[in-house]
Amino acid sequence: MDKTITIREAVAESDVSLFWEQLRCYFKRDIFPDPEDEDREYFLNDATYWAQVQKLHDRPQDRCHYLFFCRNGQDIGFAMPVIYTTEDGKCFIMEYGVYPEFRGNGTGKQCAEVLLDWAGENGARYAELNCSGNDRRAHFWEQVGFIKNGVDEWGESLMLLPPKNDIPITIEILADPEDWQLKKLENGFFKEIGEPALTEERQDRLRQAIREGRITFFMAKRGYRAVAMCSVVKCFSTFTCSDTGVLDDFYIEPVFRKKGIARKLTQAAQEWCGEKGLSSLTICCAPCDEEMYRALGFDTPLGRMLAHLY
């Protein structure tokens, strides 16, 4: 018996209908088995969700694909990837599932590998997916080679298959306070330090502070993708009677650490402060991070910082 797994795309109207039917079964069976789950109705029956997905499928660029996994002439699972060829070649796997009767004996991993090969043939350079609230799913993708890597702009956990090709890292000053990648990195930073994701109110305050020049963000970009950030907050010092800077929001996505990005970011922030006439740039850090920041040029002790929090 031929165990080769292939991919076919749902193009005919009958195949598209079959895809939606299988996707609904997958949501009901595997993702939202609890009838009381507040998200269940939205993904199963809300016309808004289905219309949004169909819009992604129908757009001329960066479209999502309705795919079936096939073996011996029989469908055994499905996937719904989006390949962002106009950005940096990210393949975002929106949905993925193997039908229950075909699970086991490594079939799921084989399907995933076939999907990644298909994505590469269609312009993808790396892959990413959500994995919130499902340890079993996260473990499966770890076996395929994915690594937990921060969160998305809504605070949902992400996993990334590390890119194989190296792309130079550039540092840019954030120009658009509405940039969704800033929100993604901010939420990744907050999750790592144990804080909740940004609320809409906090996002509004942050955007306003950026517009007013009270805070400046530096973004480390791997091509299109922002993979790290830091910010400088201006403060007036009566000691020097001039502006000083505080380094804040220092965060690098886990997959892209230990690649020299931290040094590039802090050097850009330090040089910018010098150009703007700031008298110093300081950082408040935990004792475990002190050695790292010393190596990044923060080598002058200024006492111990204390605070009264509200």
pLDDT in tens, the chain (310 residues): 568 999 999 999 999 999 999 999 999 999 888 988 888 888 888 788 889 999 999 999 999 999 999 999 999 999 999 999 988 899 999 999 999 999 988 999 999 999 999 999 999 999 999 987 678 889 999 999 999 999 999 999 999 999 988 889 999 999 999 999 999 999 999 999 999 999 999 999 999 999 999 999 999 999 999 999 999 999 988 888 889 999 999 999 999 999 999 999 999 999 999 999 999 999 988 888 899 999 999 988 887 777 778 8
| pLDDT at residue 1, rounded to an integer | 56
Predicted confidence at residue 125, as pLDDT, reads 93
In a domain, 217, yes or no: yes
In a domain, 300, yes or no: no
Chosen domain end from 113, 130, 161: 161
Is residue 21 domain-shared with residue 125, that is, in the same domain? yes
Same-domain status, 75 and 141: yes
Same domain? 62 vs 32: yes
Tell me the residue type at 140: F
Tell me what pLDDT residue 222 has.
Answer: 94
Shared-domain flag, residues 72 and 101: yes
Are both 182 and 254 inside the same structural domain? yes
Residue at 76 is within a domain: yes
Overall domain count for the chain: 2
Q: Which two tokens stand for residue 36?
A: 């009381």
Indicate whether 310 belongs to any domain. Answer: no
Q: Is 251 found in the same domain as 153?
A: no
Residue type, 3: K
309 in a structural domain: no
Question: Same domain, yes or no, for 157 and 26?
Answer: yes
Residue 112 tokens, joined: 């995933």
* Residues 174 and 247 reside in one and the same domain: yes
pLDDT attached to residue 4: 93
What's the pLDDT at 2?
67
Dump pLDDT digits (tens) for 72-116. Answer: 999 999 999 999 998 889 999 999 999 999 998 899 999 999 999
Judge if 122 and 175 occupy the same domain. no
Other beta carbons less than 10 A from residue 39's beta carbon: 13
The dihedral over CA atoms of 8, 14, 18, 23, expressed in degrees to the nearest 10, equals 80
Domain that holds residue 19: 6-161
What pLDDT is stored for residue 242 in this prediction? 86
Q: Does residue 200 belong to any structural domain of this protein?
A: yes
**Residue 303 resides in a domain:** no
Q: Tell me phi and psi for residue 234, to 5 degrees.
A: -80, 135
Q: Is there a single domain that holds both residue 149 and residue 269?
A: no
Domain presence at residue 301? no
Domain termination site, one of 99, 128, 161: 161
Query: What is the amino acid identity at position 296?
Result: L
Task: From 130, 161, 192, give the residue that closes a domain.
Answer: 161
Are 201 and 135 part of one and the same domain? Answer: no
Cα distances (Å, whole numbers) of residue 250 to 7, 70, 207, 218, 281: 42, 45, 17, 9, 13
Instruction: List the one residue out of 272, 244, 247, 245 whose CA is nearest residue 262.
Output: 247
CB-CB contact of 91 with 124 (8 Å) = yes
Instruction: Based on the fold, state whether residues 119 and 255 are members of the same structural domain.
Output: no
Residue 120 sits in a domain of what CATH number? 3.40.630.30
Q: DSSP letters along 249-293, please? A: EEEE-GGG-SSSHHHHHHHHHHHHHHHTT-S-EEE---GGGHHHH
